[in-house]
């Protein structure tokens, strides 16, 4: 047998292998570039989302701050109004506790300046004086009048005020107090 002559390397196979290697290498580079671009895009998206979230949170914080400031201002106004009302009620209570002689006297006609202006008369002068109702134990009704005034100011109904006076002060007939504070029944 004859020995086979040495084979010549197949140049076509070697060239194909090189080209295939170059294609794989180019594909890997392209894949890495796509991955890098995707990661960069994801980082940009996250940065934009974070910036947007921070901006919205800042806007909500600012709005919440404005609302809190507004509520505080409203609360202070309500407090001041309540303090004025309490002071007015204290003065009214003190006025109810005074005897008629202790009340401020009306100026006489001689002490008034004659400027031609009409003068207001005290309510007591316009309305006939009704006897003060008393509680079951015989004491006056200044406390009952004060409670009725407070309940009326807070919006309680005539029936609710009547019930509270009957139960709390044991007043059998509350008509005089209710009429003095709310006006005669049926004039609504």
Residue 157 has what pLDDT? 92
Residue 139 has what pLDDT? 46
For residue 18, is pLDDT > 70?
Answer: yes
Residue 51 has what pLDDT? 94
Half-sphere exposure of 57 (CA within 13 A, CB side): 6
On whether the CB atoms of residues 169 and 144 are closer than 8 A, the answer is yes
* Contact residues for 141 (Cβ-Cβ < 8 A; gap 6+): 132, 133, 134, 135, 169, 171, 177
Question: Is 183 exposed, middle or buried (CB count within 10 Å of its CB: 0-12, 13-18, 19+)?
Answer: exposed
Per residue in 38-82, pLDDT (tens digit) is: 999 999 999 999 999 999 989 988 888 888 888 878 888 888 888
Which tokens belong to 82?
């309540």
For residue 13, is pLDDT > 60?
Answer: yes
d(CA 147, CA 124): 21
Per residue in 107-142, pLDDT (tens digit) is: 555 544 555 555 554 444 444 445 455 544 444 578
d(CA 132, CA 176): 8
């Amino acid at each position: 047998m004859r020995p086979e002559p040495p084979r010549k390397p197949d140049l076509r196979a070697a060239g194909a292998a090189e080209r295939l290697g170059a294609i794989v290498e180019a594909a890997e580079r392209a894949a890495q570039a796509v991955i890098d671009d995707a990661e960069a895009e994801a980082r940009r998206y996250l940065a934009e989302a974070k910036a947007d979230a921070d901006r919205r949170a800042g806007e909500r914080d600012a709005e919440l701050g404005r609302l809190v400031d507004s509520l505080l201002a409203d609360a202070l106004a309500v407090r001041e109004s309540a303090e004025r009302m309490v002071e007015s009620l204290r003065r009214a209570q003190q006025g109810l506790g005074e005897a008629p002689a202790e009340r401020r006297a009306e100026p006489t006609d001689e002490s008034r300046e004659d400027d031609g202006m009409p003068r207001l008369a005290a309510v007591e002068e316009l309305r006939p004086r009704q006897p003060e109702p008393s509680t079951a134990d015989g004491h006056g009704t200044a406390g009952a009048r004060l409670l009725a005034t407070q309940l009326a100011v807070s919006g309680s109904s005539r029936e609710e005020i009547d019930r509270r006076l009957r139960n709390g002060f044991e007043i059998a007939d509350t008509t005089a107090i209710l009429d003095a504070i709310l006006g005669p029944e049926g004039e609504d």
